[in-house]
Amino acid sequence: MVCLGNICRSPLAQGILESKIDPKKVDVDSAGTAAYHIGKPPDPRSIEIAKKNGIIIQNQKARQFHKNEFSRFSKIYVMDQSNYKKVIALAETNQEKEKVKLILKDQNEVPDPYYAGEDSFKHCFDLLDNACDRILKSLN
């Protein structure tokens, strides 16, 4: 799960998908394309909306996406076009590029909630919850 800062959207996506899968079978992680928040816990607003939905994400720590993720993961889900481009730019083969997908259908984006209000975090949660249901179906 990849966003820009790895403190708002992708930690939520990680927590939501982890809550739906068998951790013995699927390894889920998240990262940001930027280095701004490395080592920090998720944004308190993401922690809060996750908690309201029974999901604990406060132990996550932000890290930056590295090109070695292409060999570690079979799928790389990105939140928006801007981060899609940043991740694709690090891919070295077509096979690596094919692993990268926008997490929403029809080229839609999960809007960056960082400078927005609490409602945006709820909207983010709902979008990601639906997206993770679809990912889950694609794994079965």
Quick note: the x/- pattern for ligand 4NP over 27-66, rule CB under 6 A, is -----x---x------------------------------
119 is catalytic: no
26 or 34, CB closer to ligand 4NP? 34
How near is the Cβ of 66 to ligand 4NP at its closest, in Å?
A: 16
112 is catalytic: yes
Instruction: Kindly indicate which of the ranges 3-11, 69-77, 94-102, 126-134 contains the residues binding ligand 4NP, using the contact rule CB under 6 A.
Output: 3-11
80 is catalytic: no
Question: Which residue of the set 8, 45, 112, 124 is catalytic?
Answer: 112
CA distance 91 to 43: 28
98 or 101, CB closer to ligand 4NP? 101
CA distance 130 to 126: 6
The dihedral through the CA atoms of 8, 84, 95, 136 has a sign that is: positive
18 or 112, CB closer to ligand 4NP? 112
Interface positions, 80-139, toward ligand 4NP (CB under 6 A): 112, 114
- Binding residues (CB under 6 A) for ligand 4NP: these are 3-9, 32, 36, 112, 114
